[in-house]
Amino acid sequence: MRPLDALAKVCGDVRPGEPAEGVLGVEPAFVAAPASLAEAADVMRVAAEKALAVVPRGAETRLDWGTPPERCDLLVDTHRLDKIVEHTAGDLVAKAEAGLPMDRLNEKLAERGQRLALDLPLPGSTVGGTIATGAAGPLRSLYGTPRSLVIGLTVVRADGQIARSGGKVVKNVAGYDLGRLLSGSYGTLGLIVEATFRLHPIPTASAYVTCAVDGPEDTHDAVQTVLHSPVAPSAVEFIAPGTVAVLLEGVPDGVAARARQIAELLGEKSEIAESAPDGWGAYPEGTALIDISAPPPALPDVLTTLGPDVAATWSGSGHGYVGLPAELGPDGVADVLGRLRDVLTRHRGNAVVRYAPEEVRAAIDVWGPVPALTLMRRVKDQFDPDNRLSPGRFVGGI
């Protein structure tokens, strides 16, 4: 039986792929959109029987991250997997399907005064895509990334078998911690179908304190002043060219008092506002996006290396983004990336290119050195021995 016919027998939405659906230029032969866990498992089973290479797709907000797949026989579209399976408000836990947009999830959680504390720079990002790329915004400083907030995961393995890890309560974890393992794995270990998250109450008040800064040392001093204060901010962000912003959350009286305290610490250039400053939680503009991470003390060296004119953000957690303009070209991007990696290596950090034009990707090492690559390949071999799940999308050709 032809692959398309075999897929159509187990899934109600199957069709040939189209050129516009290419993943970084690699056109899928077929597209299947399962509507349930059972359908997703059957689709993956047929893919295994027909030796099809599978690439998952959510809302395409980060489908251009990573490197092109070696092949894409089957694109598994998760848009029909868009339900909240369960919300146990008393336990601060919710389970959602992979194709559900994160903003829709938080809209429903807000009806019960709760939220998933992942603020994402790209509207429309889905549950599965967010986990697969490990994406998070400024709130990562206090609440962490998907690795920290996923407490249970349901995935379909390369052979079509369903695997579950974790449970409905935070302390229940058995076997592989799939949430941590699949977070940031770019679809190379399994098809994410459902995720269970730890939730947090929505704060009743919030405030932003912003401070104008001048140069790398001034920026570093302002960030360190906040981080070493007793105020416990929800997020601290540097936004190029010269703003340090602090988010405070809690009850009204407490937020007001803490905001005044931070403003006094930062000095006369500080201001208190109810709304976020321009650039808060957004990726810096540019045709190439570099994701950087290192301990917070690396900030002055990073900013000195970049210079005053480069679009960048930096979180108090030691994580940031750099946006590079199209006019730099492949050689210019390679130069900035090389200098950044030299600096970050001294601080035990790294730099990864999330997206860039094709000619730039061809001229650079997108991922950079990865000390754990040998271990990662062993994990890949165990989960996907035939190398059919998003082959080549991840570091080291995984």
- What pLDDT is stored for residue 180 in this prediction? 87
Distances (CA, A) of 357 to 24, 184, 311: 10, 21, 18
Are residues 158 and 389 in contact, defined by beta-carbon separation less than 8 angstroms?
yes
Distances (CA, A) of 166 to 117, 179, 192, 376: 19, 8, 14, 21
- What pLDDT is stored for residue 120 in this prediction? 84
Distances (CA, A) of 96 to 31, 56, 86, 132: 23, 17, 7, 15
Q: Give the domains, in start order, of the chain with CATH numbers.
A: 3-79 (3.30.43.10), 84-201 (3.30.465.10), 205-273 (3.30.70.920), 288-361 (3.30.70)
- What pLDDT is stored for residue 172 in this prediction? 39
Q: Which residues of the chain have a pLDDT value below 70?
A: 167-176
- Chain segment 287-313, per-residue pLDDT in tens: 999 999 999 999 999 999 999 999 999
CA distance 196 to 97: 9
CA distance 100 to 130: 10
CA distance 170 to 380: 27
CA distance 295 to 317: 7
pTM of the prediction?
0.94
- What pLDDT is stored for residue 176 in this prediction? 58
Ramachandran sector of residue 75 (left: φ over 0; alpha: ψ -120 to 50; beta: rest)? beta
Q: Structure tokens of 287?
A: 């045709």
CB-neighbour burial class of residue 166 (10 A; exposed 0-12, middle 13-18, buried 19+): buried
CA distance 166 to 147: 12
CA distance 71 to 69: 5
Cross-strand partners of 132: none
- What pLDDT is stored for residue 236 in this prediction? 97
Are residues 169 and 93 in contact, defined by beta-carbon separation less than 8 angstroms?
yes
Question: Residue type at 108?
Answer: K
- What pLDDT is stored for residue 170 in this prediction? 42
- Chain segment 336-348, per-residue pLDDT in tens: 999 999 999 999 9
- What pLDDT is stored for residue 169 in this prediction? 45
Q: State the SS3 of the chain.
A: CCHHHHHHHHCCCEEECCHHHCECCECCCEEECCCCHHHHHHHHHHHHHCCCCEEEECCCCCCCCCCCCCCCCEEEECCCCCCEEEEEHHHCEEEEECCCEHHHHHHHHHCCCEECCCCCCCCCCEHHHHHHHCCCCCCHHHHCCHHHHEEEEEEECCCCCEEEEECCCCCCCCCCCHHHHHCCCCCCCCEEEEEEEECEECCCEEEEEEEECCCHHHHHHHHHHHHCCCCCCCEEEEECCCEEEEEEEECHHHHHHHHHHHHHHHCCCEEEECCCCCCCCCCCCCCEEEEEECCHHHHHHHHHHHCCCCEEEEECCCEEEEEECHHHHHHHHHHHHHHHHHHHHHCCCEEEEEECCHHHHCCCCCCCCCCCHHHHHHHHHHHCCCCCECCCCCHHHC
- What pLDDT is stored for residue 168 in this prediction? 59
